[in-house]
Amino acid sequence: MSAGFFSVAGGLLLVHAVLLLLNAHAGQCGCYKRIFSFGDAMIDTGNFVQLAAGKAASSKFKEAPYGMTFFRHPTGRICDGRVLIDFYAEALQLPLIPPYVPEKDSGQFPHGANFAVYGASAMGEGYNGHNDTVTSPWPLGQQTTWFEEMLQRIAPGGNGAKVRQILAESLIVMGEIGAIDYSSWFDVGGASEDAVDVIPDVITYISHFIEEMILNQGAKAFLVPNILPMGCRPSYLSRFRSSNHSEYDENGCLRWFNDFSQKHNQALAMNMGWLRRTYPNVTFIYADYYGAAMEFISNPGRFDIGDPLLACCGGDGPYHTGGECNSTAKIWGDPAHFASWDGVQLTEKAYSIIAEGVLNGKFANPPFPLRC
Ligand SMILES: *[C@@H]1O[C@H](CO)[C@@H](O)[C@H](O)[C@H]1NC(C)=O
Ligand SMILES: *[C@@H]1O[C@H](CO)[C@@H](O)[C@H](O)[C@H]1NC(C)=O
Ligand SMILES: *[C@@H]1O[C@H](CO)[C@@H](O)[C@H](O)[C@H]1NC(C)=O
Ligand SMILES: *[C@@H]1O[C@H](CO)[C@@H](O)[C@H](O)[C@H]1NC(C)=O
């Protein structure tokens, strides 16, 4: 009895000591108090449905089965449940980060704001390098303009000291962004070989906006994710189906598109190296979404996922594509056993695995600063 009591007390003391230790470090590195995030559908939490309200393109996202898993109602996420930014907020013990657009005139955003929009490209309308194939109305440049407008509103004043103070306590999640630049290129029938020429331009855009935030607003910490293996995307597997077996890798993904994703990712990683050398006082965490996703693509059983190349919500076509995911689409099973939600975007299950890989695993470099 008393031995039991003492071991419990000892345990409490130990917990207390650990908490003191954690607190001791809190002042030094400072936990992030806010997240500001930029990107595309992968982390849009409600901007697109607001921006495109009334348009056919957005209405399906406001209906079941979107949101069926976690929120149990549609939220504007292009997913059955939570997306990556939700898991990052939870990990930093912040409330879910609100989408910017619905609150753009009044929100104080004490824990940050999410500027990501479904369909957003890195490059803007002014981009003319390759026949202006990018037509996203809310590209990264628009999102960073909203960011500046928000800062002017919540931290007004001359010298920007208040803005710098906010940014010093904030984590910027820069992406994933860029995948749309490539998919829009493929969508208009742009030659695959030429798409490689677009990569340096996409990287230049991402890097430019990162530098602007460092120089103009005093941003101190970035999480910069790379892009997923596009050759494992059900919509591409269906659209670019081939009878030539050597076009597929050992997981059944299209080799060429995965190689292409890797080329973008290598260029992004190189750019991170340059940014780190140029801004030694800024933290750049490179998040390897490609590597984290390959875990469930190459070993789905470990995560209780069935075939990771099949969409959960879609049609009767190959890889469960051939129809959009809308209120009358077929749900092929419990989303917890699927990696792809609608043939392009991932399920909450897949995002939870990627987030785990970034937050606690080996897919963030340097490791994600979860604790101070
Ligand atoms: C780009 O424009 C040129 C000249 O108009 C045209 O010849 C070429 O086919 C276009 N390329 C693509 C990918 O649209
Ligand atoms: C099959 O694909 C491989 C790899 O892309 C290519 O080298 C080969 O020429 C293709 N074979 C045929 C018959 O198209
Ligand atoms: C980096 O931080 C140090 C110490 O706070 C400071 O002296 C130095 O000016 C900073 N360098 C840059 C490039 O901001
Ligand atoms: C859902 O999409 C399919 C095409 O895939 C279409 O035929 C159907 O009318 C759509 N349902 C609704 C409710 O819009």
Instruction: Answer yes or no: is the C-beta of 131 below 6 A from any ligand 1 atom.
Output: yes
* Pocket residue to mutate for ligand 4, from 63, 326, 344, most atoms within 8 A of Cβ: 326
Ligand 1 atom nearest to CA at 133: 14
3 state DSSP class of 365: strand
Q: What is the pLDDT along the chain (372 residues), one digit of tens a residue?
A: 344 434 444 444 444 443 434 433 333 344 799 999 999 999 999 999 999 988 878 889 999 999 999 999 999 999 999 999 999 999 999 999 999 999 999 999 999 999 999 999 999 876 655 655 556 889 999 999 999 999 999 998 756 899 999 999 999 999 999 999 999 888 877 777 788 988 999 999 999 999 999 999 999 999 999 999 999 999 999 999 999 999 999 999 999 999 999 999 999 999 999 999 999 999 999 999 999 999 999 999 999 999 999 999 999 999 999 999 999 999 999 999 999 999 999 999 999 999 999 999 899 999 998 775
Q: Which residues contact 198 (CB under 8 A, 6 or more apart)?
A: 129, 130, 181, 182, 185
**Closest ligand to Cα 256:** 2
Q: Which residues contact 284 (CB under 8 A, 6 or more apart)?
A: 222, 224, 272, 275, 276
**Closest ligand to Cα 192:** 1
pLDDT at 370: 77
The rounded Å distance from CA 299 to ligand 2 centre is 27
pLDDT at 126: 61
pLDDT at 354: 98
Instruction: Answer yes or no: is the C-beta of 323 below 6 A from any ligand 4 atom.
Output: yes
The rounded Å distance from CA 131 to ligand 1 centre is 6
Pocket of ligand 2 (CB under 6 A): 244, 246-247
The rounded Å distance from CA 316 to ligand 4 centre is 13
Ligand 1 atom nearest to CA at 130: 1
Instruction: Answer yes or no: is the C-beta of 190 below 6 A from any ligand 1 atom.
Output: yes
3 state DSSP class of 369: coil
Q: Of all protein residues, whose CA lies closest to atom 13 belonging to ligand 1?
A: 190
Tell me the pLDDT tens digit for each residue of 216-243.
999 999 999 999 999 999 999 999 999 9
pLDDT at 361: 83
CA distances from 171 to 177, 349, 368 (A): 16, 24, 11
**Closest ligand to Cα 315:** 4
Provide the CATH topology of domain 3-371.
Answer: Rossmann fold (3.40.50)
Distance CA 263, CA 269 (A): 10
Ligand 1 atom nearest to CA at 191: 13
User: 295: which 2 tokens?
Assistant: 């875990």
- 65 prior amide bond cis, ω within 30: yes
Q: Do residues 321 and 238 make contact, with C-beta atoms less than 8 angstroms apart? A: yes
pLDDT at 191: 73
The rounded Å distance from CA 237 to ligand 2 centre is 17
Length reported for the chain = 372
pLDDT at 194: 81
* Pocket residue to mutate for ligand 1, from 127, 130, 131, 187, most atoms within 8 A of Cβ: 131
**Closest ligand to Cα 243:** 2
Alpha-helix residue ranges (DSSP H) falling in the chain: 2-29, 47-51, 56-59, 84-91, 140-154, 161-168, 179-187, 192-212, 234-239, 255-278, 289-298, 348-359
Question: Exposure pattern of 316-333 as b/e (b: 16+ CB <10 Å)?
Answer: eeebbbbbebbeebebbe
Positive or negative, the CA dihedral 240, 244, 250, 255 is: negative
Ligand 1 atom nearest to CA at 185: 13
Distance CA 281, CA 214 (A): 10
Instruction: Answer yes or no: is the C-beta of 251 below 6 A from any ligand 4 atom.
Output: no
Q: Do residues 287 and 224 make contact, with C-beta atoms less than 8 angstroms apart? A: yes
The rounded Å distance from CA 59 to ligand 4 centre is 11
Q: Of all protein residues, whose CA lies closest to atom 2 belonging to ligand 4?
A: 324
What's the gap between Cα 41 and its chain centre? 8
Tell me the pLDDT tens digit for each residue of 291-341.
999 999 999 999 999 999 999 999 999 999 999 999 999 999 999 999 999
Domain locations in the chain?
Answer: 3-371
Ligand 1 atom nearest to CA at 189: 13
**Closest ligand to Cα 342:** 4
Ligand 4 atom nearest to CA at 324: 5
pLDDT at 158: 59
Residue with tokens 């919500």: 313
**Closest ligand to Cα 185:** 1
The rounded Å distance from CA 279 to ligand 3 centre is 9
pLDDT at 282: 97
Find, among 116, 115, 133, the residue nearest to 124 by Cα.
Answer: 133
Distance CA 209, CA 370 (A): 25
Instruction: Answer yes or no: is the C-beta of 192 below 6 A from any ligand 1 atom.
Output: no
